[in-house]
A = this chain, B = another copy of it.
Amino acid sequence: MKDNLIGFAHGSGGRKTARLIKELFLKHLGNPILNRMEDAAELPVAGSRIALTTDSHVVYPLFFPGGNIGKLVVCGTLNDLAVKGARPRFMTAGFVLRAGMSMDVLERIVRSMAEELNKAGVQLIAGDTKVIEKGKVDDCYITTAGFGVLEHEQTFAPERIEPGDAICVSGNIGNHEAAVLLAREDFGFEHKIESDIANVWPLVGALIKAGVDVKAMRDPTRGGLATILNELAEAAGLGMIIKEADVPFSPAVKGAADMLGLDPYYLASEGRLIAIVAKDHAERALEVLKAEPLGKNAKAIGEVREKPEGLWLETLLGSERPLLILEGEQLPRIC
């Protein structure tokens, strides 16, 4: 791939995506809000704290164990609001459909969207549909915007992270990407892996209600746990250390990653959150998360430290190795 052409790595969520954003999008479109490059932007609208986000979804195949693109667009969008501490309220959706796509398939997708939106108490309030040329497969791309409201005084922002803060995850990591990958072809892998897609707002709402001092929050989507923690560490100008013994992976995901030669620390989840919480709030945070069905496997996996900068993994043998931001592409079209 030449550098002057768009490649899959530009959509992977890793270093090339970050470069595209900085050197092209921020160069021309930058402003104090966009430059923060957060999952959702907080808007200065008189009297309210409003959050707005957007997400494009091109996942392939459209259906996979544990979900489909419809469930994914809703949860992906709501989660971007939730990790900023905003209660999701409204969503928009723009559909780009291939001519020849089955109307029944589209209806199944829309029905999944409706189910997730209803569960979340969120309304779709605007939509658009465009049709493009026939392809070889049923295919659709859905881009959403999410609108949420911050109903509290807390601010989740990487600037608030301090040495000593605890790094918590709400459950097993990487199931979504493993499920999508295994749905693409028959690798002869015997364990069924379901995507972890879920709306994480109930977890976030519970942490806020319990008064847990959350410094920053993200969901480990494209680029996985390793990339997202790198981004948080870089934004905070600090280091992070996580323990291999404590990061929760299901044995099936570990096995699939081994078989396929992928590093599980870079596998995307779509229903998990990473919370950086004040040290003396870590225990309470885990209690609150574990009390929710979606958080029953929550774990504290490491802590923030002054130096060295970047993300480090304490291996089972007790040595430390750096976990860098995702280089190049891992798997295209996982979300």
Contacts and interface: CB of A to CB of B under 8 A. Distances in A.
Interface stretch (A7-15, A183-191, A317-325): A7-15
A110 B28 CA distance: 7
A97 interface: yes
A40 interface: yes
Interface in A96-141: 96-104, 106-107, 110-111, 113-114, 117, 123-132, 141
Nearest to A123: B31
A115 to B, nearest CB: 9
Contacts of A282: none
Contacts of A98: 6
A124 B94 contact: no
Interface stretch (A55-63, A153-161, A226-234, A258-266): A55-63
B56 A94 contact: yes
A31 B58 CA distance: 26
B143 A96 contact: yes
Number of copies: 2
Contact of A5 (B90, B92, B100, B107): B100
B56 A102 contact: no
Contacts of A125: 31, 33-34, 41, 43, 52
A17 interface: yes
Interface in A312-335: 332-333, 335
Contact of A11 (B34, B46, B58, B129): B129
Contacts of A127: 21, 25, 29, 34, 54
B102 A4 contact: yes
Contacts of A96: 56, 58, 96, 141, 143
A221 to B, nearest CB: 11
A151 to B, nearest CB: 10
Contacts of A114: 28-29
Interface in A57-112: 57-58, 89-90, 92-104, 106-107, 110-111
A31 B123 CA distance: 7
A131 B45 contact: no
Q: Which 4 A-B pairs have the closest CB atoms?
A: A11-B131, A145-B145, A143-B143, A56-B94
Given A4-B102, A130-B335, A131-B332, 19 more contacts: A5-B99, A5-B103, A6-B99, A10-B97, A11-B97, A28-B110, A29-B110, A29-B117, A33-B90, A41-B126, A45-B48, A52-B125, A52-B147, A54-B127, A56-B128, A58-B130, A92-B145, A94-B144, A132-B332
